[in-house]
A and B are shown apart, each in its own frame.
Chain A
Amino acid sequence: DTGVSQNPRHKITKRGQNVTFRCDPISEHNRLYWYRQTLGQGPEFLTYFQNEAQLEKSRLLSDRFSAERPKGSFSTLEIQRTEQGDSAMYLCASSSPFSVEAFFGQGTRLTVV
């Protein structure tokens, strides 16, 4: 297992377009988290999955954002009608129910032009 994998690593899109990011957590990690990091700030929590259930969503997650984890394995984060303010690093992390440690992906850097 090579750790938490995120794709793509970089994405440039025009304002108004839809984008989708993917996160593959470590096998058998049932907890999966999405975070967003804007320039000069620390990452902020977006949403949390336990298995396939989305159990918590931040108020940062507007109606244009949707996240899924259909089979409790990989997860996707979709942003519809992107805005320049969506430009950020989107981070995924996963953890096992048996450990206090979470493992972070390398992130997907989104630039909306």
Chain B
Amino acid sequence: KNEVEQSPQNLTAQEGEFITINCSYSVGISALHWLQQHPGGGIVSLFMLSSGKKKHGRLIATINIQEKHSSLHITASHPRDSAVYICAVREASGTYKYIFGTGTRLKVLA
């Protein structure tokens, strides 16, 4: 079992729909990142969370430390949101390296 699990793996939505991507992890963490990766492109950090909730534009990220779960929501989705969204958790000790989920491939249709 992977230490970071994302669901769904693939998601197709119609423009305007509300989208939720989930991330569950099994290790102790100091922070959690949501990252966005466009085809052929590099990685862009959307949010860094250690508790609670953050909002940026149409994007909302929440984390529940006790349940070891985070969600990324996209409101009023748009075709330009089509990308791979990756959850990454940072270890709470040691080298503090990141462990990544395998990503959720989102396609938003016009």
Place the interface of chain A in its size category: 20 to 34
Majority DSSP secondary structure for residues of B touching A: strand
> In the complex, which of the residues B50, B86, B99, B101 contacts A100, with contact meaning CB atoms closer than 8 Å?
B50
Query: Contacts A42-B101, A104-B43, A109-B40 given: A95-B96 contact, CB under 8 Å?
Result: yes
Known contacts A37-B100, A42-B88, then 17 further A-B pairs from the complex at CB < 8 Å, ordered by chain A residue: A31-B96, A33-B95, A40-B102, A41-B103, A42-B101, A43-B43, A45-B99, A55-B95, A89-B42, A91-B42, A93-B98, A102-B90, A104-B35, A104-B42, A104-B43, A105-B43, A106-B42
Sorted from nearest, which 5 A-B pairs have the closest CB atoms?
Answer: A106-B42, A42-B100, A100-B31, A107-B42, A100-B30
A9 to chain B, nearest CB (A): 8
A13 to B70 Cα, complex, angstroms: 39
Q: Across the interface, which residues of B come within 8 angstroms of A100, CB to CB?
A: 30-31, 48, 50, 90, 96
Indicate if the CB atoms of A106 and B97 lie closer than 8 Å.
no
The reply to whether the CB of B45 lies closer than 8 angstroms to some CB of chain A is yes
CB neighbours of A106 from chain B (8 A) = 41-43
Give the number of chain B interface residues (Cβ < 8 Å).
Answer: 25
Residues of B within 8 A of A (CB): 4, 30-31, 33, 35, 40-45, 48, 50, 86, 88, 90, 95-103
Q: Does A28 have its Cβ within 8 Å of any Cβ on chain B?
A: no
Q: A31-B96, A43-B100 are in contact. Are A101 and B43 (CB under 8 A)?
A: no
Mark out the residues of chain A between 27 and 77 whose CB falls within 8 Å of any chain B CB in the assembled complex. 31, 33, 35, 37, 40-45, 48, 50, 55-56
Query: Measured between alpha carbons, how far is A109 from B40 in the docked complex, in Å?
Result: 8
Nearest A residue to B2, CB-CB: A42
Q: Is there an interface contact between B45 and A91, defined as CB atoms closer than 8 Å?
A: no
23 contacting pairs across A/B (C-beta < 8 A): A31-B96, A33-B95, A33-B98, A35-B98, A35-B100, A40-B102, A42-B4, A42-B88, A42-B101, A42-B103, A43-B88, A43-B100, A45-B99, A48-B95, A56-B97, A93-B98, A101-B31, A102-B96, A103-B45, A104-B35, A104-B42, A106-B42, A106-B43
